[in-house]
Amino acid sequence: MDLTTILLFSVAALASLFMAWVIGAGSSGATPFAPAVGANAITTMKAAFVVGILGFAGAVTQGASVSEAVGRELVTGVVLPPSGVIVALLIGAGMMVIGIYTGYPIAIAFTVTGAVIGVGFALGGEPAWAKYAEIGGMWLLTPFVGAGLAFGIARVLPRPDVPEHISVALLAGLVGAVVANLEFVFLEPVGGTIAIAGSTAVPLAGTAAVVVVSVAIGVGAALVVRWDIARDKLGGLQRFLLVLGGLVAFSAGASQVGLAVGPLLPLLEEVSLVSPIAVLLGGGFGILVGSWTGAPRMIKAVSQEYASLGPRRSIATLVPSFLIAQTAVLLGVPVSFNEIVVSAIIGSGLAVGGSAGVSPRKLGVTVVAWIASFLLAFGLGYGSMYALSTFSMTP
């Protein structure tokens, strides 16, 4: 391992840290608690503080899946050198900075994915078609699934024939059962999930025991929320909303950290002094600082410029956001939390107020920005790396 390799890796690590800061200041830091802020359940500054801590926790305990996908599975037949990692991360982070300061939620998953693929192709890599199909399917389905689920939940919550201490409690039960089956690094010695770890205490074997534990945790969550809403409806709704925001923030850290540190993973084979967990810790720290220092602007943009949210509509927004986010983490697919949450906000808005709750101009500009960000990042990644490679080979 020569000095040049160490220096290039150090620069790449700084670019990764900057990317993590941008993620915390932008999509990961803003969108999870934006519905709660819009519903006046928490202030903007408190939301930024909490989301930073939870994003850090998610990055460290669940961040390996998406990190592997971004670092090793987007292009085949080539490993990005330190210079390629630097180019990809700086392009992704730079475009995200533009989004933060213009107030438009640029999808960082699109920019980083496009930049990494562009750099990889410029180096002679081959397309990873199976992974592209998985990613493309997730990106295309997210707006429809998120908006559809949010629409359905928002239509049910205000109905007089479905009391909220029942409907919201059922949602809490579903969320509790999903949480019981999330995979965590620190639970790997006992099966990886709370449900599997708890199944050892159930006098049943295999899947049956896991199902029993999952249902028990879900029922427990439902009963707690039912009791809380029955005694204090508005307060209970807001407290459940804050829990949902926390879960989405945790999931955001788990997913988005991979966009910052994933490209570094192949380089660790050359720099053996750095471990993957150290890289995840660094990425989580960058997200934490970014959330504390830069997220309030984007929180305001998403919560106030897209729609005016109450607690019920916010719950309808965050439940599908959490479910989609954890599905992406499970599959190891980089996703945009702007896309997830904004789609759910639109779905819940259509349910309660028709198209009046959504700004068509803002929506149109956002969708165009998402598509353009991927294409531009790909072009910049390919062109920059091709030029850099050509220059380096020139006598």
Query: pLDDT digits over 9-41, tens only?
Result: 888 888 888 888 888 877 666 677 776 777 677
Residue ranges in the chain assigned as alpha helix (H): 3-25, 27-30, 34-38, 44-62, 64-72, 82-102, 108-122, 129-156, 164-180, 194-199, 207-231, 233-261, 276-305, 311-331, 337-353, 360-393
Whether 187 is covered by a domain: the verdict is: no
Q: Residue 86 belongs to what domain range?
A: 3-156+252-393
Q: Please count the CA atoms within 13 angstroms of the CA of 294 that sit on its side-chain side.
A: 24
The answer to whether residue 211 sits within a structural domain is no
- Over residues 106-161, the pLDDT tens digits come to 788 899 999 999 999 999 999 999 999 999 999 999 999 999 999 999 888 877 77
d(CA 56, CA 250): 8
Specify the amino acid at residue 81.
Answer: P
Matching residue, tokens 């005016």: 308
Is 198 among the domain residues?
no
Instruction: Report the domain count for the chain.
Output: 1
Produce one character per residue of 51-64: b if its CB has 16 or more CB atoms within 10 Å, e if not: bbbbbbbbbbbbbb
The residue behind tokens 């986010």 is 325
Rounded Cα distance between 138 and 115, Å, is 19
Rg of the chain (C-alpha set): 21
String of DSSP letters for 283-317: HHHHHHHHHHHHHHHHHHHHHHHS----HHHHHHH
pTM score: 0.87
How confident is the model at residue 32, as a pLDDT?
Answer: 75
Residue 162 domain-assigned (yes or no): no
Examine residue 242 and state whether it is found in any structural domain, yes or no. no
Q: Which pLDDT value is given to residue 356?
A: 45
**Does residue 260 sit within a domain?**
yes
Strands (E), the chain: 75-76, 126-127
First-to-last alpha carbon distance for the chain, in angstroms, is 25
Residue 24's pLDDT is 84
Q: Is 273 helix (H, G, I), strand (E, B) or coil?
A: coil
Backbone φ, ψ for residue 107 (5° rounding): -85, 105
Q: Is 45 part of any domain?
A: yes
Residue 238 resides in a domain: no
User: In the numeric block, which tokens belong to residue 39?
Assistant: 């519903």
Coil, strand or helix at 258: helix
Residues of the chain with pLDDT under 50: 306-307, 356, 394-395
Query: What three-state secondary structure class fits 192?
Result: coil
- The pLDDT value recorded for residue 327 is 93
- The confidence score (pLDDT) of residue 385 equals 92
Longest pairwise C-alpha distance within the chain: 78
pLDDT of 307 reads 47
Nearest to 214 by CA among 231, 191, 242, 248: 191
